[in-house]
Amino acid sequence: MMRHPQVPQGCQLFAHKSIGSTSEEARRLAEEGAPDRIVIWAGEQTSGRGRHGRQWTSPPGNLYHSIIFRPDCPVAEAAQLGFVVGVAMASAIRALSDIPVVLKWPNDLLIDEKKVAGILLDSADDGAGGVAWVIAGIGVNIENHPEDLPDATDLRAAGATFSVEDLIEAFLPKLFVRLDEWQRDGFAPIRYQWNELAMAFASRISVKLPDRTVTGDFEGIDASGNLILRHDGRLIYVAAGDVFPVSNSATGVS
């Protein structure tokens, strides 16, 4: 049985027991002209989508929701919303528990190097260099995670006792505070908070780029949201790629 969560003023939440994808439903509504801060939440998804065209397995027990934003920003800055959302979700989980959840670039949350949540961004431009809408779809493994994914975990396994509804109620107020801050003060405060909540600086990571894989030390994100990687004593700035934590001391380029 789903309880209707309390949501902050200026936000409207639509709850579905089951849906194909909350992000697809949000996109449909955005294209029909739905306003800023509409949240679509579902108890389960039958066609959940992940990044890079992957499937997001979505049985009951976890959080699946998508939020429509209509930010006043150039298209080039729309991806910053992924960091706004990540900061709010990591802070919400930490506020409800003492689970040491951390952020992994660009849009994942990890517990002990295993993925517990992911964020999927969709956007449309307004034809004049601005953004018509951005949809952030957020999936958080609360009660279960796909057994066939060795690098995935869930919050229950880490000791969490809160419900999906509790997490929504902790997350949305934080999200809209961070969103207002981003609109008012730009990316700098979000960048600072993201770096504070990120995996430890100097952690070994591998970054899969389109043409090669580079291993080095994680050094946070820069003023544009690029990943900073220290490799062979110099800094590499990565705009797009897949990051994998490296537990041993391997280094190099392949």
CB of 21 to ligand BTN, least distance (A): 3
CB of 181 to ligand BTN, least distance (A): 24
Site for ligand BTN contains 114 (CB under 6 A): no
Site for ligand BTN (CB under 6 A): how many residues? 20
Return the number of other C-beta atoms located less than 10 Å from residue 63's C-beta.
24
Amino acid at 132: A
- What residues pair up with 131 in beta bridges, in sequence order? 125
DSSP state of 200: P
Site for ligand BTN contains 131 (CB under 6 A): no
Q: Three-class SS of residue 191?
A: helix
Distance of CA 228 to the CA centre of its chain: 18
Applying CB under 6 A, among 45, 153, 193, 206 the residue interacting with ligand BTN is: 45
Closest CB to ligand BTN belongs to which residue? 118
Distance of CA 34 to the CA centre of its chain: 22
Q: Where are the alpha helices (DSSP H) in 97-199?
A: 164-185, 188-197
Q: Three-class SS of residue 103?
A: strand
142 with 61: CB under 8 angstroms? yes
CB of 136 to ligand BTN, least distance (A): 8
Distance of CA 61 to the CA centre of its chain: 19
Q: Which residue lies nearer to ligand BTN by CB, 51 or 230?
A: 51
**C-alpha span between 83 and 79 (Å, rounded):** 8
Applying CB under 6 A, among 27, 37, 49, 145 the residue interacting with ligand BTN is: 49
Binding region for ligand BTN (CB under 6 A) out of 5-13, 117-125, 150-158, 164-172: 117-125
CB of 252 to ligand BTN, least distance (A): 27
6 with 41: CB under 8 angstroms? no
**C-alpha span between 48 and 39 (Å, rounded):** 16
Q: Which residue lies nearer to ligand BTN by CB, 86 or 216?
A: 86
CB of 41 to ligand BTN, least distance (A): 9
Applying CB under 6 A, among 13, 27, 38, 56 the residue interacting with ligand BTN is: 56
Site for ligand BTN contains 43 (CB under 6 A): no
In the region spanning residues 74 to 103, those forming contacts with ligand BTN, defined by CB under 6 A, are none
209 with 250: CB under 8 angstroms? no
Binding site for ligand BTN (CB under 6 A): 21-23, 45, 48-51, 54, 56, 64-66, 108, 118-120, 137-139
